[in-house]
Amino acid sequence: MSGTSAIALIQGASRGIGLQFCKTLLLRNSATTVVATCRDPNSSSELAQLKVNNDRLHVCKLDVTKENDISDVSKYVTEKFGKLDLLINCAGMLHPSGKGETSLRSVDGQDLLLTLHTNAVGPLLMAKMFSPLLLNGNGQFGVLSADPKATHCGIIANMSAKVGSITDNGLGGWYSYRMSKAALNMATKNLSIEFGRGRKKIICVSLHPGTVNTDLSRPYHKNVPNLFTTEYSVDCLLKVIDSLTVEDSGKFFTYDRTVLPY
């Protein structure tokens, strides 16, 4: 990332990985402005505290399952900045109950649809409504190429999960979460193809953050030998983002830049 002004939007920023992205981006570069979105900004005391004395943080209400919210924030960013350099979709749901289904008999249609809407449909609509702003970006994240045909103007990073890999699935279960992340990966791939056609290109990738100490993974911590802090995971993920080129668009990376099979 260069030292000039950069605009990053973190969707799902009230806690966990999203909140840590806000903290880290604000700390590491005084020229970066962060737009943090969440369903209820008033309920996030940590986000409110981060905003104190920090005029480079803008907090907006956005429920990723509501198109009007997404549209309203895109209008706000358009009026305020006129561009966007990085969009990170972080909001995620394991299951409305907080635990993944262990078998088919646990599957509920409404719960499945809500998980799919949050984890896959929402990020796709974010890409739809913020892509005009990303096309106005100037490549403040990732690696710019000397070849104009291989230069990007913005990046979309979707927080996926290794359990969303169809090839890697050897245990089954977690129907809603696995299906939603597999759908998100397909959306990422589709977006990479569409946004790779024009003169101005947007890099689109899926990212696996590792198993991180967050509310989403908390019910399963006892089975995880290497549980990451949010700080460590975000540091690793930003290294991946900073290393991205147009040729990486459409790929599914782990926190250590290993390419995962879809």
Query: Looking at residue 215, what is its pLDDT?
Result: 60
pLDDT tens string 71-111: 999 999 999 999 999 999 999 999 888 888 889 999 999 99
Q: How far apart are CA 211 and CA 71, in angstroms?
A: 32
pLDDT at 144 over 50: yes
How many of the other CB atoms lie within 10 Å of CB of 95?
Answer: 21
Burial 16-36, CB ≥16 within 10 A → b, else e = bbbbbbbbbbbeebeebbbbb
Alpha carbon distance 39, 33 (integer Å): 20
Query: Which pLDDT belongs to residue 224?
Result: 62
Non-local (6+) Cβ contacts of 156 within 8 A are: 87, 89, 127, 134, 188, 191, 195, 202, 203, 204, 205
Tell me the pLDDT band of 1, cut-offs 50, 70 and 90: very low
DSSP single-letter state for residue 121: I
pLDDT of 150 > 90? The answer is no
Closest CA to 152 of 250, 36, 40: 250
The reported pLDDT for the residue numbered 244 is 98
Length of the chain: 262
Token pair for 151? 């230069």
Domain ranges of the chain: 6-254
**Mean pLDDT, the chain, integer:** 93
Q: How many CB atoms lie within 10 A of CB 213?
A: 16
Share of the chain above pLDDT 90, in %: 83
pLDDT tens column, 30-80: 899 999 999 999 999 999 999 998 999 999 999 999 999 999 999 999 999
Residue ranges with strand state E in the chain:
6-11, 32-38, 57-61, 86-89, 152-159, 201-208, 252-254
Contact indicator for 136, 153 with CB cutoff of 8 Å: yes
- Residue 198 confidence (pLDDT) above 80: yes
Percent of the chain predicted with pLDDT > 70:
94
The pLDDT score that the predictor gives to residue 4 is: 62
Q: What is the pLDDT of residue 133?
A: 98
Q: What is the DSSP string of 217-244?
A: TGGGGGG-SSPBPHHHHHHHHHHHHHT-
Instruction: Tell me what pLDDT residue 53 has.
Output: 82
Lowest mean pLDDT, pick from 12-21, 96-105, 120-129, 203-212 = 96-105
pLDDT per residue as tens digits for the range 215-230: 664 555 556 667 899 9
**Domain at 6-254, CATH class:** alpha beta
Instruction: Specify the pLDDT at position 98.
Output: 85
Residue 225 has what pLDDT? 64
Gap between the Cα atoms of 119 and 184, Å rounded? 7
DSSP letter assigned to residue 212: B
